[in-house]
């Protein structure tokens, strides 16, 4: 996938999760530098205007900056940034909120769509979990929170094969400590906060089926990688995490990525 296409994917997902423009997170901006520019070049030119916070996606030159002594959503400041010869794209780091509409039908909570979409016929052939080549299927789920101890969810959580749980060490060297089932980018930890939206989404994707408890997911044996977010910057980091882990799991420890 081309870098421009990958950036477009990040932005599309960010827009999908946002409902209305809200104030930026503490006057933070997400900036993508041009391929010919460096972080040092940017810092030299804008050192009195922006403070570097962290790199979101190194391969795309996407970074997070704090606007110093600037009002949130300052269009003049943003336009100045966009006109810079060093900058490919820039926008405010927006907080996110769920967008959904709950119908008021009396029996809405009792309506199930699995029969209507023909899942019983599909399950007669496969219940998910592996590809035709026998490779395990991992689905990355980006949402606002998860309950990872739920008995219908816990058995189908992805497990980082190179991370030793609870030892306080970044065993696989990916920059995240004890990221056993994914990462909470909202509070920068491996601990997830339960949420009324993320748990149902995970249940639809991969709740254990045919186990006499709870509900049945579309995939009964799929592995779910959990990624919790708070704002647009978190989405960038989450997608970077997914692509990094995808590369890491296709190569033996200590070797370069397999082609």
Give the pLDDT confidence of 99-131 residue by residue, as tens digits.
Answer: 655 444 344 455 468 778 888 888 888 888 888
The number of distinct structural domains making up the chain is: 2
Helix (H) or strand (E) holding 225: strand 223-228
Domain that holds residue 140: 108-248
Within a domain: residue 78? yes
pLDDT band at 247 (very low <50, low <70, confident <90, very high): confident
Which CATH number is 67's domain given? Answer: 3.30.70
Domain boundary among 58, 92, 126: 92
CATH at residue 138: 3.40.50.200
More confident residue, 218 or 101: 218
Q: What is the mean pLDDT of residues 1-5?
A: 55
Residues 201 and 230 both lie in one domain: yes
Q: ∠ CA 63-65-66 to the nearest 5 degrees?
A: 165
98 assigned to some structural domain: no
Q: What is the DSSP string of 77-112?
A: HHHHHHHSTTEEEEEE--B----------TTGGG--
The pLDDT value given to residue 7: 53
In this structure, are 119 and 223 located in the same domain? yes
């Amino acid at each position: 996938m081309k870098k421009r296409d990958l950036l477009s994917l990040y932005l599309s997902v960010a827009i999908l999760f946002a409902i209305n423009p809200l104030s930026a997170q503490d006057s933070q901006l997400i900036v993508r530098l041009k391929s010919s520019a460096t972080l040092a070049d940017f810092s030299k030119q804008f050192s009195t205007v922006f403070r570097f916070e962290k790199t979101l996606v190194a391969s795309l030159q996407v970074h997070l900056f704090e606007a110093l002594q600037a009002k949130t959503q300052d269009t003049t400041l943003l336009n100045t940034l966009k006109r810079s010869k060093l900058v490919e794209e820039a926008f405010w780091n927006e907080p996110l909120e769920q967008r959904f509409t709950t119908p008021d039908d009396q029996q809405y909570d009792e309506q199930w769509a699995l029969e209507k979409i023909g899942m019983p016929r599909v399950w007669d052939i496969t219940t998910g979990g592996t590809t035709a080549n026998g490779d395990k299927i991992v689905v990355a789920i980006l949402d606002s929170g998860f309950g990872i101890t739920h008995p219908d969810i816990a058995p189908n959580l992805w497990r980082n094969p190179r991370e030793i749980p609870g030892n306080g060490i970044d065993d696989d060297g990916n920059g995240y400590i004890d990221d056993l089932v994914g990462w909470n980018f909202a509070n920068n930890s491996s601990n997830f906060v339960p949420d009324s939206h993320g748990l149902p989404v995970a249940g639809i994707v991969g709740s254990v089926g045919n186990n006499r408890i709870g509900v049945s997911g579309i995939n009964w044996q799929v592995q779910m990688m959990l990624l919790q977010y708070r704002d647009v910057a978190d989405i960038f980091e989450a997608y970077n995490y997914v692509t990094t882990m995808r590369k890491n799991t296709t190569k033996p420890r200590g070797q370069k990525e397999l082609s």
